[in-house]
Amino acid sequence: MAKTMRSTAPLNAPRHVAIIMDGNGRWANARGMPRTAGHRAGVERVREAVRTAAEAGIQYLTLFAFSSENWNRPKEEVSDLMGILRFFIRRDLAELHSENVRVKVLGCRQNIEPDISALLMEAEDRTRDNTGVTLMIAFNYGARDELVRATRSIVAAVTAGHLDAAAIDEATLSAHVDTAGIPDPDLVIRTSGEQRLSNFLLWQAAYSEFVFMPCLWPDFDRAAFHDALAEFSRRDRRFGAVPTPNLAVGS
């Protein structure tokens, strides 16, 4: 039987946390190391982030692993990244499964090398029935591309007569994006001090809280994760509404 990590969740823990894992290359450059070394160090933080999320009672953790724009990086670096991905899945899938983690992959599946596509499918299929943290890996992912793909799917449904165009609403689009059936992220974290979304979850992050961490991703340890969660706990989330004053009796 798969084991479930013990939760130490605060009452106001976010249900869904998404992380833009930024700064691997700069971390390596600062140490006179090749960028690949930074990416490998970043993988270790992925493992720790999953464990920390489970312990904190976070139900969904989305990690921006490889964007659709990252293909424009030097070929050697892209090749190294693909090798790291292969290594991570082959080595860690059994452990993730034993820890009751469910894996879901976001992003476009076209034009991906067949063995990587097969590994991603294996990760999803093998962990499909797990009930612990859902780990969503955004691979070959870009939010604008996601919205284009969702739009095409909706148009096809209308053309086929399965959907009334007049009935299209926000829920319709949410049902056709890669995170269909998953709650929107409560918290988006970005490491390395950069303060932008970089084409990540543009639709889903409409009301997310943002925490920008100064540390580079390979330095984003358990303590840094908890610092981000503590910052989230101090936020007053109103979702566009005006809070109703809580007036004491007789005031």
Annotated binding site: 22-27, 35, 39, 67-69, 71, 73, 190, 196-198, 209
Characterise 200 by phi-psi region: left (phi > 0), alpha (psi -120 to 50), beta (else).
beta
Most confident of 85-94, 103-112, 151-160: 151-160
Instruction: Write down the mean pLDDT value for the chain.
Output: 91
Kindly give, in sequence order, each residue whose CB lies less than 8 Å from that of residue 165, ignoring residues fewer than 6 positions away: 158
pLDDT band at 3 (very low <50, low <70, confident <90, very high): very low
Q: How far apart are CA 201 and CA 18, in angstroms?
A: 9
Number of structural domains (the chain) is 1
Question: Is residue 42 in a domain?
Answer: yes
Catalytic residue among 12, 29, 70, 219: 70
Whether 151 maps to a domain, the answer reads no
* 33 lies in some domain: yes
Q: Which residues pair with 233 in a beta bridge?
A: none
- Within a domain: 238: no
The reply to whether 101 falls in a domain is yes
Q: How far apart are CA 35 and CA 206, in angstroms?
A: 33
* Catalytic (active site) residue 199: no
Question: Other C-beta atoms within 10 Å of 169: how many?
Answer: 8
Distance of alpha carbon 134 from alpha carbon 58, whole angstroms: 9
Across 9-32, average pLDDT: 90
Of the candidates 15, 20, 9, the residue with the CA atom closest to the CA atom of residue 196: 20
Q: Which residues are annotated as a binding site for Mg(2+)?
A: 22, 209
Containing structural domain, residue 59: 16-142+184-233
pLDDT top residue among 124 and 249: 124
Dihedral angle sign, alpha carbons of residues 154, 144, 187, 27: positive
Cα–Cα separations (whole angstroms), residue 73 to 69, 161, 164: 8, 42, 42
Q: Considering the domain boundaries, does residue 89 fall inside one?
A: yes
The verdict on whether 246 is a catalytic residue reads: no
66 within domain boundaries: yes
Q: What percent of the chain has pLDDT over 90?
A: 76
Catalytic residue among 12, 22, 80, 221: 22
- The residue to which tokens 């299929």 are assigned: 125
With 70 as the cut, is the pLDDT of residue 244 above it? Answer: no
CB-based contacts of 4, cutoff 8 Å, min separation 6 = 54, 99, 100, 131, 132
Q: Which residue do the tokens 């007049």 mark?
A: 166
Question: What is the distance between the alpha carbons of residues 134 and 125, in angstroms, rounded to a whole number?
Answer: 13
User: For residue 67, what is the domain's CATH number?
Assistant: 3.40.1180.10
The pLDDT assigned to 242 comes to 65
In this structure, are residues 64 and 138 in contact, taking their beta carbons and an 8 Å threshold? yes
The two most distant CA atoms of the chain are separated, in Å, by: 71
Letter for the amino acid at 103? V
pTM as predicted: 0.89
Whether residue 11 has pLDDT greater than 60? no
